[in-house]
Amino acid sequence: MKSSGLPEPAVAYLRVSDKKQLNTAIDIDPDGNSIATQRETIEKRAHTLPANIVKEFVEPGVSGQSIEKRPAFQQMLDYLREHPEVRYVIVYMRSRAFRNYIDAAITKRQLDLMGVQLISAKEDFGQGIYADMMAAITDIFNDTQNRLSGQDISTKMLHKAMNGGTCGRAKIGYINARVDIEGRQVNTIRIDPERGPLVVRAWELYATGDYTIEDLEATMADLGLTSRPSGRHPVARPVSAGTLHTMLSDPYYVGYVEWKGETYPGRHEPLIGHDLFERVQEVLRHRSANGSRDRVHNHYLKGGLFCTRCRDNGETSRLVYSKTTGRNGTRYAYFVCRRSQAELCDLPSLPVEMVEDAIVEHYRALQLPADFVTETRALLTGVLDDEQANVREMHSNLNRQLKELASKESRLIDLVADGTIPKDKVRAKLLELENQRKRIQAGLVDTSEQLALGVNVLRQAIDLIADPYALYRDAGPETRRLLNETFYERLYIDDRDDTTTTPRVAADRTPIFADLHRAARTCRSGASGIGQKRRPHPHKRTGAGSNKALAVVPAGIEPATSRV
């Protein structure tokens, strides 16, 4: 491909196969696997072509063997088809783009048809037939190395399992830990002091034969058994029925590890004994043999309903979703108080349809008064306008400080030229000024966007309860589940009374909507200044109490509303 001497349009493709590599830089990772290092190397290579990178495609933490499994790579191909003016695709190394030679050959053919050349920033093969040959040989070597690495990892994992080691993250009830052995830090598995006893309790309860998986899920949630936080789920959640079902047949808890269908004695401490393990397996076998095998039933209200009567007696008990088969073969669905199954609560079984209808009707109570909504919207607009004025003034002050720093640096440089001050002192002073500049530049981040986001989220919250009854009534099961999670922390159910034909519903609202309704009641009683006087200009504030609009901006708004 001939160059006119002017920079040609190019795109960059950057990729790491492990998300941990996103945190590496060249001082930590000399092989340059971090995105930042790849970007720097690719930009240098583009300058030598010469080429101008017009778009960048980043594939962070995707370990797919094939290019079909990499969405950013596919987006890049689509972009090239839509922009025929692009002449180069620049990658850090061919191994970053391809893990097998077949993908490399197919992609090269696609790029050739589009008149695009693939450039490796770290591998300069030159031009011509021999250059293509060297690139193809490199792809074959990369493919071979990838397969050998996979075999090596598989062999190491097998040896680890044969020696009793745990392959992967610690299971629920255990934690990954590091211990000092003869001065070396060694990875190991320990019993989780918080979840371990609860896991044992789950095995013991199920071994009695009195609990279905659904019952056990609700019981352990009430007792506080949760999953460990992770990158995907940073907030601990009650352990699901599916996870419990898998756990109850896992020999890991009695001291064994499994790998590729084989079982080996483990080095970790067992959580349960063989006798308890066998009792649980007997319950599982019995239920499977007589046709009453545990099944995980799903319903959008599952896990969010609690018994009102148990709450009034100082207990916490979820309603369990269950299905029974009548004599005529018809399936009936009910919500049952978990404690009632142990005859500790007298709440009768409630048909699912009646509970669903009762919650739909309860949504009428969520609607805010129209005048309060109007006043709140006006105040939010005022808050946003005032705060944006503050941000503009702050930026002006910070820019003035930057100019002053530049003047100080110029004076110091002049003093060095005159020989008035020793160079080491000037160097230290310049470093101090540079640190000040970084702090000021960090302060220049436009916080107005964050404020606008917060205000918009609150506006969306108000929109949600403009007509919550119709919103919930017309929604599908999944949306109803999300709405319940957004509006309510808990929904309490009791049997119908003499005045109604449907179950009674009470609720603990999530903080944002509880605060909005509290503000609406205060406004209605005339105790609030909402709607009576605009908030004063920010420069005239005299204290926290002057910002009346913040009375309706509760903490925790974003997590509550971002679910919907």
Range of lowest pLDDT (19-23, 48-52, 299-303, 377-381): 19-23
Q: Is the pLDDT of residue 266 over 80?
A: yes
Amino acid letter at 185? Q
Residue with tokens 């080095």: 267
| pLDDT for the residue 361 | 92
Across the chain, mean pLDDT equals 77
pLDDT tens-place string over residues 231-245: 667 778 889 888 999
The pLDDT, as a whole number, for residue 426 is 66
Residue 448 has pLDDT above 70, yes or no: no
Judge contact between 474 and 329, C-beta under 8 A: no
Domains by residue range for the chain, with CATH: 8-157 (3.40.50.1390), 168-296 (3.90.1750.20), 370-464+510-561 (no CATH)
Report which of 312, 266, 58 is spatially closest to residue 164, judged by C-alpha positions: 266
The band of 193, judged by pLDDT with boundaries at 50, 70 and 90, is: very high
- What is the predicted pLDDT for the residue at 501? 67
Q: Considering only CA atoms, which of 85, 92, 3, 11 is closest in space to residue 52?
A: 11
pLDDT the model gives residue 237: 86
pLDDT at 391: 66
Cis peptide before 50 (omega within 30 of 0): yes
Look at residue 148 and tell me whether its pLDDT is greater than 60.
Answer: yes
Compute φ and ψ for 540, nearest 5 degrees: -105, 10
Please give the sequence-ordered ranges of beta strands (E in DSSP) within 271-418, or none if there are none.
305-307, 319-325, 331-337, 350-351
The Cα 36–Cα 43 span in angstroms is 11
The first and second tokens of residue 378, run together, are: 């006006």
Tens of pLDDT, residue by residue over 59-69, are: 765 555 566 66
Q: Which of 83, 6, 3, 11 is nearest to 53 (CA)?
A: 11
Model pLDDT, residue 434: 72
- Percentage of the chain beyond pLDDT 70 is 74
pLDDT for 173: 93
- Residue closest to 350 by CA, chosen among 363, 337, 331: 337
**H or E stretch at 536:** none
Say whether pTM exceeds 0.95: no
Mean pLDDT (whole number) for 127-143: 81
Ranking 143-147, 166-170, 288-292 by mean pLDDT, the lowest is 288-292
Q: For position 497, what pLDDT does the model report?
A: 63
**410 vs 364, higher pLDDT:** 364
Confidence check: pLDDT of 479 > 50: yes
Kindly indicate the confidence band of residue 307, based on its pLDDT and cuts at 50, 70 and 90.
Answer: very high
Amino acid at the residue 384: L
pLDDT of 86 > 90? The answer is yes
Whole-number Cα distances in Å, 420 to 412, 413, 414, 416, 417: 10, 10, 9, 6, 8
**Residue 294's pLDDT band (cuts 50, 70, 90):** low
What is the model's pLDDT at position 453?
58
What confidence tier does 198 reach under pLDDT thresholds 50, 70, 90? very high
Contact 388, 450 (CB under 8 A): no
Helix (H) or strand (E) holding 360: helix 352-362
Residue 153 Cα to chain centre, angstroms: 28
Report the C-alpha gap between 168 and 142 in whole angstroms.
26
pLDDT of residue 83: 92
Average pLDDT over residues 425-452: 63
Structure tokens at 445: 């981040």
Q: Could you tell me which residue, 560 or 277, shows the higher pLDDT?
A: 277
The whole-number pLDDT of residue 79 equals 93
Place of tokens 């119709």: 470
Q: Is the Cα dihedral 525, 530, 533, 535 positive or negative? A: positive
Identify residue 505 by its one-letter amino acid code.
Answer: V
Q: How confident is the model over 515-539, as pLDDT tens digits?
A: 888 888 887 766 444 444 434 333 3
Per DSSP, 239 falls in state P
pLDDT on residue 232: 67
Question: How does pLDDT run across 101-118, given as a tens digit for each residue?
Answer: 888 888 888 888 899 998
